[in-house]
Amino acid sequence: QQPVQSPQAVILREGEDAVINCSSSKALYSVHWYRQKHGEAPVFLMILLKGGEQKGHEKISASFNEKKQQSSLYLTASQLSYSGTYFCGTASGGYQKVTFGTGTKLQVIP
Amino acid sequence: EAQVTQNPRYLITVTGKKLTVTCSQNMNHEYMSWYRQDPGLGLRQIYYSMNVEVTDKGDVPEGYKVSRKEKRNFPLILESPSPNQTSLYFCASSFWRDRSYEQYFGPGTRLTVT
């Protein structure tokens, strides 16, 4: 079953923060996060494994609550380059078989 | 330069005419995957491979075949394409190293089946 992402879309001003949530109805082993700009291939951001470890990647970090089957992506002090569609991908039996959410469209404006 | 290449990048074909989309990576990665992307449906995984001769189905494998005879190549085969396979296809390769995971996508193949 497809994970649910929220919000579906968000507009930020440069420097503002955002949180994108990903929720699954299944027990999860891993959560993957991606960003895709229009007309381009997805770019892998990070993977979080069962264990609730928070990971960071410059000003983008994420957490994974395996008990709630939820993950959140945190974008801090957003930059124009953060604009794009963010997808979460979830895996239950490992980390290679991944089901993707429908995406969150994020636009950062000056 | 780390690279995943796909060929062709664009293809228009007719129903029933067998085709192969090639995917090649130069990073010696164990894991490779194929995805399709459709408006309103997002990304969906077709097949993945954990290593040479090891492949498994993703969420939407019907109508597709894959093979992994060499580590660097992971072709996607459509034996009898149908219009509902019109889509944007991405190949990706990935690896674990020193507790760190990375994944790289190819540029995509836009397929139209008439």
Please report which confidence band the pLDDT of residue B30 belongs to, taking 50, 70 and 90 as the band edges.
very high
Give the per-residue pLDDT at A56: 66
The answer, for A55 touching chain B at a CB cutoff of 8 Å, is no
Q: Consecutive sets of 10 residues in chain A, 110 residues long: mean pLDDT of each?
A: 94 97 93 96 92 70 91 95 96 87 96
pLDDT band at residue B35 using 50, 70 and 90 as cut-offs: very high
3-state secondary structure chain A: CCCEEECCEEEEECCCCEEEEEECCCCCCEEEEEEECCCCCCEEEEEEECCCCCEEECCEEEEEECCCCEEEEEECCCCHHHCEEEEEEEECCCCCCCEECCCEEEEEEC
Residues whose CB is less than 8 angstroms from the CB of residue B12 and which lie 6 or more positions away in sequence, other chains included: B111, B112, B114
**Partners of residue A96 in chain B, C-beta under 8 Å:** 31, 33, 48, 50, 56
Does residue A99 sit at the B interface (CB-CB below 8 Å)?
yes
Whether B101 sits inside 8 A of A47 (CB atoms) is yes
**What single-letter DSSP state applies at residue B93?**
E
Q: What pLDDT shows up at residue A101?
A: 95
Task: Mutate one of A96, A99, A104, A105 to test the B interface: name it (highest B CB count within 10 A).
Answer: A96
Nearest CA distance, A47 vs chain B (angstrom): 7
Q: Which residues of B touch A100 (CB under 8 A)?
A: 42-45
Per-residue pLDDT at A84: 97
What's chain B's average pLDDT? 95
Strands A104-109 and A9-13: parallel
SS (H, E, C) B12-81: EECCCCCEEEEEEECCCCCEEEEEEEECCCEEEEEEEEEECCEEEECCCCCCCEECCCCCCECCEEECCC
List, for residues B71-108, the tens digit of each pLDDT value: 999 999 999 999 999 999 999 999 987 778 899 999 99
- Chain B residues interacting with chain A (CB cutoff of 8 angstroms): 31, 33, 40-45, 48, 50, 56, 58-59, 90, 92, 94, 101-108
What's the pLDDT score for residue A22?
97
